[in-house]
Amino acid sequence: MSRASDGGFDLHVHTTCSDGTEEVERVLELAASTGLEGIALTDHDTTAGFERARVAAERRGLDLVLGTEFSAELDGWSVHVLGYDIDPTHPDLAAELDRLRDERTDRARRIVERFVALGIEVAFERVAAIAGAAPIGRPHIAAAVVEAGGAANEREVFDRYLADGGPAYVPKHAVHPVAAVELLRAAGGVAVLAHPGIRGPVDGEPVLTDAVIEELAGAGLAGLEADHPDHDAGARARFRDLARALDLVVTAGSDYHGDAKPNRLGEARTARGVLEALRSRAGG
Ligand code: AMP
Ligand code: ZN
Ligand code: FE
Ligand code: FE
């Protein structure tokens, strides 16, 4: 081993199956070249990439965790729960994922209407074309807004309009995070709270209080993604302490989205032993 970053697992990765910009096969090629032992595929509200990822991981000699980043909602804020080792055929999970994808399409129409009302002439058809077969996400809409000349880049679209609470933001109707944890566990999976340090835009207060995280732990949450690029040292320390107090596993994930975000594949890595401890907590 030469570099400290060698090995490990990036447990939070997006592809063109949701709002990442790289195809599944390319992401696994990049994972191999950056020295990862494996990744978790965690596209938003879909399991569509599973078969392609299996084939590509085998070709690259990588280990693979099949998962999703499941949309939940708390007081109007987006809360994301990572579900690993889920059964994609579980009827209740599959039904909720179908519903969430439909909800994303309706919500994208409403967001587009808001942009038009703000004087930015973005077309829903263009958003749908950018998303292709993927569930429509805000990054697809942001790309269409940039194309339409509504902002210089996607970062600016989020900062000015599309971040949670922004003038073009429309929440998804999604289940409470406790229900999300229960559903992922019922499908045989392991639930981990993604980027738990998310903050409300108005007062900058954390959306997820210690009390909420304790409630999630009671519902069977297995881990906290303490090591995420959006977290500063204070947030990381908070979640490490909380994980110790609540007997949760501390995980790391880059939230890689290709060119759609600055996050680099493998910039956050979970050790194999930690992943094994996590997987031993599967529901079902
Ligand atoms: P959605 O699931 O459609 O609500 O979109 C969520 C995705 O939008 C996240 O995974 C990020 O890729 C992106 N996103 C959300 N909030 C922001 C933000 N404030 N700045 C940049 N990207 C964001
Ligand atoms: Zn995303
Ligand atoms: Fe997320
Ligand atoms: Fe993500």
> Distance between CA 116 and CA 138 in Å, rounded?
16
Q: How far is the CA of 264 from the centre of ligand 1 (A)?
A: 16
Q: How far is the CA of 264 from the centre of ligand 2 (A)?
A: 14
Using one digit for the tens of pLDDT, what is the confidence trace for 191-202? 999 999 998 766
The residue among 79, 74, 77, 95 whose CA lies nearest residue 183 is: 95
Please, what's the b/e burial string for 233-248 (b: 16 or more CB within 10 A of its CB; e: otherwise)? eebbebbeebbeeeeb
What does each C-alpha distance from 11 to 79, 134, 138, 195, 203 come to in angstroms?
Answer: 17, 20, 22, 12, 30
At a CB cut-off of 8 Å and minimum separation 6, what does 32 contact? 60, 61, 62
- The reported pTM is 0.96
Q: How far is the CA of 161 from the centre of ligand 1 (A)?
A: 12
Pocket test for ligand 1, best of 71, 77, 100, 138 (most atoms within 8 A of CB): 138
Check residue 279 and give its pLDDT: 98
Q: How far is the CA of 275 from the centre of ligand 2 (A)?
A: 22
> Distance between CA 43 and CA 97 in Å, rounded?
11
Check residue 202 and give its pLDDT: 63
Check residue 2 and give its pLDDT: 40
Q: How far is the CA of 88 from the centre of ligand 1 (A)?
A: 24
Coil, helix or strand at residue 19: coil
**Which stretches of the chain score pLDDT less than 50?**
1-4
Ligand 1: residues with CB < 6 A are: 19, 44, 71, 78, 137-139, 158, 163, 257, 261
The atom number, within ligand 1, closest to the CA of 255 reads 10
For residue 195, give the ligand nearest its CA. Answer: 3
The atom number, within ligand 1, closest to the CA of 139 reads 8
